[in-house]
Chains A and B, each alone.
Chain A
Amino acid sequence: MATSVLTMPWTPSPSDGVESETLTTQIEVEQTISSLLTTHMSSSNSTLLQKHQHLNFLTAILRKPLHPGYTALDASRPWLLYWTLHSMALFEGELDVGGKTRVVDTLRACQNPEGGFGGGPGQMSHLAPRGWDMIDRKGMYNFLMSVKQPDGSFIMHKGGEVDVRGCYCALTIATLLNILTPQLAANTSTFIASCQTYEGGLASSSHPFTSSSLTPPLGEAHGGYTFCAVASWAMLRPFSNEKSPAFKKELNLKSLMRWSSLVQAMPIEGGGFRGRTNKLVDGCYSWWCGGLFGVFGGLLAEETGEEVAFRDVFDRRALQEYVLLAAQNPGGGLRDKPGKGPDGYHTCYNLAGFSAAQHKYTLPASAVDKCREDFVSPFSGSRVIEVGEKEVEMILDEGESQESAEVRMREVWARSLGWTEVSKELVGGEENEVMATHPVFNLTESHVRAMMRHFYLQE
């Protein structure tokens, strides 16, 4: 049975006769969104994803010099590129050859001689940006090791802040580039688990008390950090040996699932997601929270058997409706909520969440096994290096044998590419379909596959 936020009862948040700032702003948003939904129902407008207008919006970000107001993003230009290009990829909008060359040139100018990428030309290396073939992998590995902390966390840059975004960026880069060594992964899952709060979601970081063994989370459960933490947790699975006595299932998946389900907004708010308990719905959490279900569905599949992995836990249709009806800006681009302007960040994460709601992914044991079987040793030298192709060096941990390196590379490969689409649900018809995005890396599957084939020396 197809449900819709338009036909569910629009119950406003109960006030219990207690006014407060949280309630006032909440009611305002409920009114704005529900009146927008009412207008939609009384007009003959279809629920169409305005692909053409969004592509125009994205092309403008890419090519026209941005207004000086964008100076605040001067240190985030690779991010701006990622948001724009990934959004275009979700529309199957390929850049022409000239455009691709410009991407590589822009990023090359951001690479540091000593490794890693900065936020702009000549800027200090920062964990967030990512790129591809001109990458100095050894330099990147050294950079990641230099920002790794003894407690397993990563700082965002030298002298910078510790938080789970750093873990996510580091592990994503390391997984894709095949430089995720045991040393790079050490202790990180313990750090991640220490960020889970009593609410079930995860906070930005944790910090030890000087005098005790307590390591409380800093901050409250939050969608963005929760996604980064849980996706990191999934990437670390090849390194958690369930047979070792030290292995504990430290992340409480049950309370995580409860928290994630509870942050989906009500029909009167359009069915999107909020980022924290009692905060306002916002389009970027379409991905950070909506995208979570795919990741922990895969984790739960491992823990409790297959069945749960195929069930829907959140309302996929409602999330698509939020993106279509509340987050699309009439002139192109996507936004936080009605009344806010569109931007690259909200365009990217609304669309990624929209994609996650359309394409349900999970990690079936059979698919992981198949990837394991198909994996050929990267040390066997069987792959033919094409003319002009750079040779990919296998980076090993200190004292690591080729045999054990092969085992972990196979595990990382299989758990990254074993993700399988199990069902599709399209609100507003076929023309609204966007490409599937990888539930952990948030890149289109073809990009993930192509990149990993290259760096893991697979056919």
Chain B
Amino acid sequence: MASASAAQEDSYLPFSQRPGWEDLQPIPQADAPNALVPIAYTEHYRDAMDTFRALVAKGEKSPRAIEVTEQLIRMNPGHYSIWAYRAETLLATNADLSKELDLMDELVKEHIKSYQVWQHRRTIVTSLQSSTRELPFTTRALSFDSKNYHTWAYRQWVLCHFFSSQTTPAPLSERKATSSAEEDGDEKKRKSVWQEELEYTRELLEKDVRNNSAWNHRFFVVFESGEGGGEEKEVVEREIRYTKTLLSLAPNNPSAWNYLRGILSHSHLPLSSLTPFVTPLALNTPASMPADEPPVSDKAELPAVGAVEWLADAGAEEAEKEGTEGGREKGVEAAALFRSLIQFDPIRTNYWQFRADEVLQKVGIAV
């Protein structure tokens, strides 16, 4: 491959010699003569950059600016000045923005880690005011990189921006006379988008129960969007049940424990409300799991650190509430549980020790 690209380099025709470009005087980079961290650019990149600078100097927003910026972002997707100029040019020339999305679809696989690709896409769809392609697009991107940070942040932005209830309501005077049936239809469609999001996280977690991005998205959909589907109390119960089921299957999964903690703290419930479920996982007594809780998998490796930590934190929470009066016994118990974690999880010795001392101090026991 090396020789092929070398040959390409040899036959490279600079922009200034191409028809339709002769009028542009390329502007070379004004680097300091002795500059540090210099980069040995390829001839193609250097020439395209020199041409780009010439266009910017003229303030020219034209089809050829779109052409040269495309070549540049293909070579360097992290170049924010180029993306920004391209976006301005596309909007100024009323370019076909759905074509731009085609290009983005093509580039995403290679450039998925670049901030700029995602920011550019936001600019384009905001201007298009159309979200139809966006969720399927991110689903495709996540199918080959299921934890990509930018993709998830983008998907959540799409949901906030386009699928919030009563998104951008027009002033009454400008509203078309829509029948209430039509409005109901829109609202139904919107609600089904959130329903599908919930189903999507379920599918992802079925594939990989340890995918923290999928857990995080579920929390976003259920608790942070206010679109979790149903009455608050029912939703909380449904989510607790769902998480318990996945913890009974694989109790050594910090993502699921964090999610369960998230639900309780969101609903202002004490950790101790789940003690009956957590205890068998913490004490390695799976047979004692209450009958109305999901049964523990026989392959579960117990005790699970996340369960022991839960019991310790639950005890600390109660001890702190009761304080120096009635909390002493519970405090001592919680401290013992924190210290027992040192054996299973020695890297966090200092943290477990810190938590143990903290709870003892709160109940008035000197350490």
Within 8 A of A (CB), among B23-67: 29-42, 45, 53
| A residues near B262, Cβ cutoff 8 Å | 198-199
Rounded to whole Å, the gap between the CB of B55 and the closest CB of chain A is 12
Nearest-neighbor residue (CB-CB) of B306 within chain A: A262
Task: Tell me which of B75, B80, B149 contacts A160 (CB under 8 A).
Answer: B80
Rounded to whole Å, the gap between the CB of B335 and the closest CB of chain A is 15
Task: Flag whether A339 is at the interface (Cβ < 8 A).
Answer: no
Nearest-neighbor residue (CB-CB) of B263 within chain A: A198
A216–B299 CB distance below 8 A: no
A75–B81 CB distance below 8 A: yes
B212–A279 CB distance below 8 A: yes
* CA distance in complex: A220, B215 (Å): 9
Task: Flag whether A45 is at the interface (Cβ < 8 A).
Answer: no
Binary A-proximity of B336-367 (CB < 8 A = 1, otherwise 0)? 00000000011111110010000000000000
Task: Flag whether A388 is at the interface (Cβ < 8 A).
Answer: no
Nearest-neighbor residue (CB-CB) of A276 within chain B: B212
B212–A18 CB distance below 8 A: no
A214–B226 CB distance below 8 A: yes
A207–B161 CB distance below 8 A: yes
| A residues near B354, Cβ cutoff 8 Å | 308, 311, 313
B41–A212 CB distance below 8 A: no
Task: Tell me which of A5, A68, A121, A222 contacts B149 (CB under 8 A).
Answer: A222
* CA distance in complex: A22, B39 (Å): 37
| B residues near A221, Cβ cutoff 8 Å | 216
Task: Flag whether A66 is at the interface (Cβ < 8 A).
Answer: yes
* CA distance in complex: A81, B39 (Å): 12
| B residues near A121, Cβ cutoff 8 Å | 29-32
CB-CB under 8 A for A18 and B249, given A198-B259, A211-B167 = yes
| B residues near A15, Cβ cutoff 8 Å | 299, 301
Task: Flag whether B321 is at the interface (Cβ < 8 A).
Answer: no
Task: Flag whether B138 is at the interface (Cβ < 8 A).
Answer: no
| A residues near B165, Cβ cutoff 8 Å | 209, 211-212
| A residues near B274, Cβ cutoff 8 Å | none
CB-CB under 8 A for A216 and B160, given A121-B31, A205-B153 = yes
| B residues near A219, Cβ cutoff 8 Å | 149, 152-153, 156, 216
B32–A218 CB distance below 8 A: no
B347–A20 CB distance below 8 A: no
| B residues near A71, Cβ cutoff 8 Å | 39, 41-42, 45, 75-76
* CA distance in complex: A122, B211 (Å): 42
For chain A, give the interface size range: 35 or more
Within 8 A of A (CB), among B82-98: 84, 87-88
Task: Flag whether B254 is at the interface (Cβ < 8 A).
Answer: yes
Q: Closest 9 CB pairs between A and B?
A: A17-B299, A198-B262, A105-B32, A216-B224, A22-B210, A220-B216, A14-B301, A16-B250, A261-B351
CB-CB under 8 A for A102 and B32, given A20-B209, A75-B81, A198-B262 = yes
Task: Flag whether B147 is at the interface (Cβ < 8 A).
Answer: yes
B226–A212 CB distance below 8 A: yes
Task: Flag whether A9 is at the interface (Cβ < 8 A).
Answer: yes
Task: Tell me which of A210, A265, A278 contacts B347 (CB under 8 A).
Answer: A265
Task: Tell me which of A74, A261, A277, A313 contacts B39 (CB under 8 A).
Answer: A74
A315–B42 CB distance below 8 A: no
Task: Flag whether B15 is at the interface (Cβ < 8 A).
Answer: no
**B residues apposed to A, CB below 8 Å:** 29-42, 45, 53, 75-81, 84, 87-88, 115, 118-119, 123, 146-147, 149, 152-153, 156-157, 160-161, 164-169, 207-213, 216, 219-220, 223-226, 249-255, 258-259, 261-262, 265-266, 297, 299-301, 304, 345-351, 354
Task: Tell me which of A84, A255, A277 contacts B254 (CB under 8 A).
Answer: A277
Nearest-neighbor residue (CB-CB) of A24 within chain B: B208
Within 8 A of B (CB), among A282-333: 308, 311-315, 318
Task: Flag whether A118 is at the interface (Cβ < 8 A).
Answer: yes
| B residues near A208, Cβ cutoff 8 Å | 160
| A residues near B213, Cβ cutoff 8 Å | 220
Nearest-neighbor residue (CB-CB) of B211 within chain A: A22
* CA distance in complex: A313, B118 (Å): 37
A21–B166 CB distance below 8 A: no
B212–A315 CB distance below 8 A: no
Tell which of A14, A205, A211, A311 has the most Cβ of chain B within 10 Å.
A14
Tell which of A161, A311, A313, A315 has the most Cβ of chain B within 10 Å.
A161
B35–A313 CB distance below 8 A: no
| A residues near B160, Cβ cutoff 8 Å | 207-210, 216, 218
User: What are 7 pairs between A and B in contact, CB < 8 Å?
Assistant: A109-B32, A121-B32, A159-B84, A208-B160, A218-B152, A278-B212, A311-B354
* CA distance in complex: A198, B264 (Å): 10
* CA distance in complex: A214, B225 (Å): 7
* Selected interface stretch from A48-56, A57-65, A227-235, A368-376: A57-65
CB-CB under 8 A for A314 and B351, given A106-B37, A205-B153, A207-B161 = yes
B37–A199 CB distance below 8 A: no
A18–B209 CB distance below 8 A: yes
B39–A315 CB distance below 8 A: no
Within 8 A of B (CB), among A1-18: 3, 5, 8-9, 13-18
Task: Flag whether A407 is at the interface (Cβ < 8 A).
Answer: no
B37–A157 CB distance below 8 A: no
Rounded to whole Å, the gap between the CB of B223 and the closest CB of chain A is 8
Task: Flag whether A197 is at the interface (Cβ < 8 A).
Answer: yes
* CA distance in complex: A71, B255 (Å): 37
Task: Flag whether A156 is at the interface (Cβ < 8 A).
Answer: yes
Task: Flag whether A418 is at the interface (Cβ < 8 A).
Answer: no
Task: Flag whether A342 is at the interface (Cβ < 8 A).
Answer: no
Rounded to whole Å, the gap between the CB of B288 and the closest CB of chain A is 19
| B residues near A123, Cβ cutoff 8 Å | 80-81
A66–B40 CB distance below 8 A: yes
Nearest-neighbor residue (CB-CB) of B88 within chain A: A159
* CA distance in complex: A78, B167 (Å): 41
Q: Contacts A18-B209, A21-B207, A81-B37 known; list 4 others, CB within 8 Å.
A: A14-B252, A121-B31, A207-B161, A314-B351
* CA distance in complex: A106, B79 (Å): 18
B80–A20 CB distance below 8 A: no
Task: Tell me which of B152, B169, B249, B345 contacts A16 (CB under 8 A).
Answer: B249
Nearest-neighbor residue (CB-CB) of B42 within chain A: A68
A18–B35 CB distance below 8 A: no
Tell which of B31, B258, B346 has the most Cβ of chain A within 10 Å.
B258
| A residues near B250, Cβ cutoff 8 Å | 16-18
Task: Flag whether A108 is at the interface (Cβ < 8 A).
Answer: yes
Nearest-neighbor residue (CB-CB) of B79 within chain A: A75
Task: Tell me which of A18, A65, A318 contacts B38 (CB under 8 A).
Answer: A65
* CA distance in complex: A71, B44 (Å): 12
| B residues near A262, Cβ cutoff 8 Å | 254, 348
| B residues near A315, Cβ cutoff 8 Å | 347-350
Nearest-neighbor residue (CB-CB) of A155 within chain B: B119
CB-CB under 8 A for A198 and B80, given A16-B299, A209-B164 = no
CB-CB under 8 A for A109 and B147, given A68-B45, A198-B219 = no
